[in-house]
Structures are given as structure tokens and as C-alpha cells.
Structure 1
Amino acid sequence: MQPWPASPRDDQENGPAAQGRVSAVLEGYLVTIARLIGEEGEARPTAIAARLGVSHVTAIRSIARLKALGLAHSKPYRSVFLTVEGAELAAAICTRRGMVAAMLVAMGVPPPTAGRDAARMAHGISEESMGRVAAFLRRHRARPPRGADLA
């Protein structure tokens, strides 16, 4: 599995060492593709675009980036599927988002808001901070909220 994605700012600061990391936008594509495959058995580019609220062309370009990173594969005019590495990364993203959302709910944030905020926050948070989030969740026995959309 590739290293956890850094924030775009980290990419600028780390230069060539940050190559191969996934942006927050591509994280959204990975999670969306994984969810569509789970729900419908496949992830067609038009469904990905509709789910993310982007144009078909934008979705195709982002899917091409995922393919170039070795995280997805497809054939022309066919569905998109995640590679093993892509599926593992999508699962890790969902876990991180769930942990951040659970922390926010434990602090009193309503689940729908916590889910939206967690999707943005989890991308840029450091491994050190995620360790603290995990410790907080263990202390408070908090779990990811059911009503939160973590996509």
C-alpha cells in the first residue's frame, strides 16, 4: 500500500519525496468508486460524475490520474475498478474519515455536519494527530456516526 496521502501543502514542501501521493480530490474518487462497486457491483464514469457532482469529462480525467497511479483500472467504455492497492487506500480513507467524524460527534457536532467536516479534515491531518484521535476515541468509546456521509 502506498504511503498515506499528504495535504497539497505537504506535497509542495516535500517536493519529489511526495510523488505518488493522492490528493484530496482523488481520495473522493477512490471512496466513491469503492462505494459504487459495493452498492451496484460496478462504477461507471457517468455514475461517478453524478455522485460527485462533476462533469463526465472531469471524472474521466480524474479516473485517468487514478489509473496512472496504479489505483484503478478499466477498459474503454467500461466500468472502473480499483486495484488491490486502490481498494486498500479507499478503505484506509474511510477509516480515517470515520475516526475524525466519531471524534467530532463525541464533541457534540451533529452527525451530518461531522461527516462533511471529516471528509475535509481527514486528508490533511498528520499521523501523530490521527494517533491522538484514536486514543481519544478509545477513552470515550466513541464509534463512527451512522448518519454521517463520509464520502
Structure 2
Amino acid sequence: MTDGEDKGRPRQDEAIGSRHAARFARVREAHQSELAEDYVEMIDDLIASRGEARAADLADCFGVSPGTVARTVQRLIRDGLVNSEPYRSIFLTERGREVALAARQRHRLVEDFLLSLGVSPEAAELDAEGIEHHVGPETLEAFRHHLRR
């Protein structure tokens, strides 16, 4: 290896590292967003079906501990998506209702797209739950375009 190659490699490694770090930061952010969307959708569903959403109900629905729900609800409060007081029901803010509606619409679009491809209803429902959080606006628009044909 020549001296020129030695000097170029660290910069190249740094560039690769920066690209990976940026990509993983986007993935972590997407996971946080996914969790928030799942919670506000479930809170909305619980309120619609039971008249209220309680932390214990969320723990049962998601199969997680009450402590996990408490931490997540605190994050949702901080993000302005829900309101709650200790030992009380959890309520969506206007912004939380908007996020729940957008997530539900995106889920329906992805599910309809999968069904249009011949995917079974059961598989389309399950797969849409994962896919809905990871598609961008351009892809969603392509799904809409495909479905309009």
C-alpha cells in the first residue's frame, strides 16, 4: 500500500461511517414514530370500542409490561399526542387523533395495495402493519396510482 492509499482510506471509512450513522439514525427515528403511531391507533380503537383507554388495556393489547406502557405514554404526552393523569384514562389530543387517522389511512392503502396484488386478506393485514410505517410519500403515491387503474 502506498502512502497515498493510507491517507485516502480513513476519509473513505469516515464517509461510510457517516452514511451508516445517518441511516441508522433515520431507522431509530422511524421505530419511535412507528411505536407512537401504533399506540395512538390503539388508544383511538379502545376509546371507540370501550369508551376509554387505560394503561392496563394497552399493556394487554401490546403484550408488554405496565412499566413499558407508562414510559411510552409519558413520551406520547411529551410529544403532545395524548393527555393522561395518574390512574385515569388516556385521551388523544387533536394532534394524536390526526396521527391516528393518518396511520389508519396509510395502513388501509398498503393493505388495499397488497390485496390488489393477490395477497390473501390475512397476510395483507399482517404485512400492512409492518410495511405501513416504512414507506415514504413517493411509494404511497405509487400505491394510490396503482389502485386507481
Superposition TM-score, scaled by structure 2 size: 0.79
Per-residue deviation, 1:107: 0.7
Map Cα deviations across residues 65-116 of structure 1 (whole Å, 9 max, x no partner): 1101000001110010100000011010000001000110111111121111
Q: Does 1:105 align with 2:115?
A: yes
Query: More helix by proportion, 1 or 2?
Result: 2
Which of 79, 84, 95 matches 1:69?
A: 79
Q: Does 1:48 align with 2:61?
A: no
Change (3 A) 1:10 1:88: farther
- Of all paired residues, the percent bearing the same amino acid is 37
Q: Which has the higher contact order (CA 8 A, sep 6+)?
A: 1
Per-residue deviation, 1:13: 4.7
Superposition TM-score, scaled by structure 1 size: 0.78
Q: Which residue of 1 aligns with 2:41?
A: 31
Per-residue deviation, 1:24: 1.2
Unaligned 5+ segments in structure 2 are 1-21
Q: 1:54-93 alignment to 2 at 5 Å?
A: 54-93=64-103
Structure 1: 4+ residue segments shifted above 2 A: none
How many correspondences in the alignment? Answer: 127
Unaligned 5+ segments in structure 1 are 1-8, 140-151
Q: CA RMSD in A?
A: 2.1
Q: Does 1:94 align with 2:104?
A: yes
